[in-house]
Amino acid sequence: MDLIPKPEQVVAAAGNVAHTLLYGGLADLRPMPRTLIDDGELREVYHYRPAKDVPETGDPILLVTPLAAPALCFDLRRGCSLVEHLVAGGRPTYLLEYGQVSFRNRSLGVEHWVDEVLPEAVRAVHEHSGGRGVHLVGWSLGGIFTLLVAADRQDLPIASITVVGSPVDVTKVPLVAPVRPLLNLTQGRGAITRAYRALGGIPQPLVNWAFTAASAQKVVTKPLAVLTHLDDTDYLAQLEAVDRFRANMFAYPGRTFGQLYHRFVKGNALARGTMEVGDRTIDLAAISVPTLVFAGNTDGIAPLPAVRAVVPLLTGAPQVRFEVVPGGHLGMLTGRAARGTTWTVIDEWVDEWSGAVPAAPAPTKRAARKAPAKKAPAPKKAAAKKAAAKKAAAPTRTAAPKAPAEKAPARKRAARKASADTIGSNPSRRYGSAGSRALGQR
């Protein structure tokens, strides 16, 4: 509102206040309809029902939630929901969430999500979608899980991965960096370690408090923001939806939190590109699928330098794209500005890499990468019969089935060349990334 409100602003503000008092709010919080297609221990895989008169086409997208956060992050409210956007576009859309974490889950570690939860969800989506490659979109810790699984399980039918606001170098997170030296003084015998072991994890109230503390400035200035936007229905509806999201946080399993705390926060292991999971070390350089990385320009939980640190580690990916978008940790994913930035880039990315994965997962990592090159375009007898009529086509058929080792580099070079003109340089996009242009020219 203006300092001296205009008549139409006063009318709009009065209408918003009356609607809030009479109906309890302005936001349309109805969830998008969905169907459970697979479940297991702390694993629920849902398929969102197609929109009316919009048939599903193309590769499926699997949305990967982080631990402790509700799936509302992807379906915040009608009119500002990534799920609604994808479904309206006719994309087969799926969701992985974990449900309530209880004390009996305290012994589950990171390997439960990397070895079982996410791989099983990818298989379920692959089968349910008719054997198509799966595009993973992970937010925050969900993005970290996505990176680890893509590096560890190259036999899975993953078409591409997208990580949104996932900090890799914790030393570049202002909220954590000042206290890291103090954490290392205790050598694993500090109050934090004793507390999460006794509680069996981090309870929901503490998780909610931590997320709220990360955006303390917005919480303090919220009353003034409401007063100055009383005439803006969309703004007020967004605040309501974010408040509901914060009130629905989940607990962290004890062993998982311990591993993340000691290896990720104290040890900053992932900044070096590797992390111990179970009985092995996973190297991010083993990721062999196209990777899109988002950072929010005002994100305090995963600031730009902490997220960008993953880019030089992805040496095995055929293409790496880095984009800076407006918003904080949640806003960059499902804020009002995300509708014309983050979501648009995801649409472009999925379109670019659709159909790049074989119809069925191969039994080994090596076979999975060679499978597309072994498919012959036509039987040899049919090609011989048509040789006289189509002399020009004959050399093409003969040269098509090249050795996989020779074809793979050519495919990578082609992908990079095709993207060099578009990455970070779209003239119609306000938040282009100069770093993306450099990546496209590697």
Residue 172 lies in a domain: yes
pLDDT of residue 24: 83
**Alpha carbon distance 88, 52 (integer Å):** 9
Of 40, 152, 36, 46, nearest in space to 105 by CA = 40
Whether 433 is in a domain gets the answer no
Which CATH number do you get for residue 152?
3.40.50.1820
Task: Please indicate, yes or no, if residue 168 is contained in any of the structural domains.
Answer: yes
Total tally of structural domains belonging to the chain: 1
What's the pLDDT at 304?
Answer: 95
Domain around 277: 7-353
Beta strands in 65-126 (DSSP E): 93-97
The answer to whether position 377 is within a domain reads no
261 within some domain: yes
Query: Is residue 420 situated within a structural domain?
Result: no
pLDDT at res. 12: 81
- Tokens at residue 92, please? 């087969």
- Angle (CA) 71-74-76 rounded to 5° is 90
Domain membership of residue 75 (yes or no) is: yes
DSSP 234-262: HHHHHHHHHHHHHTT--PEEHHHHHHIII
Residue 403 lies in a domain: no
pLDDT tens digit at each of 442 positions of the chain? 776 777 887 788 788 788 788 888 899 999 999 999 999 998 999 999 999 889 999 999 999 999 878 899 999 999 999 999 999 999 999 999 987 776 676 678 889 999 999 999 999 999 999 999 999 999 999 999 999 999 999 999 999 999 999 999 988 887 665 444 444 544 545 555 454 444 444 445 554 545 555 554 555 566 777 777 788 889 999 999 998 998 887 655 556 666 776 677 777 889 999 998 988 999 999 999 999 999 999 998 899 999 999 999 999 999 999 999 999 999 999 999 999 999 999 999 999 999 854 444 444 343 333 334 444 444 444 444 444 444 443 433 333 444 444 433 333 333 433 343 434 434 444 444 444 434 443 4
Angle among Cα 33, 37, 43 to the nearest 5 degrees reads 100
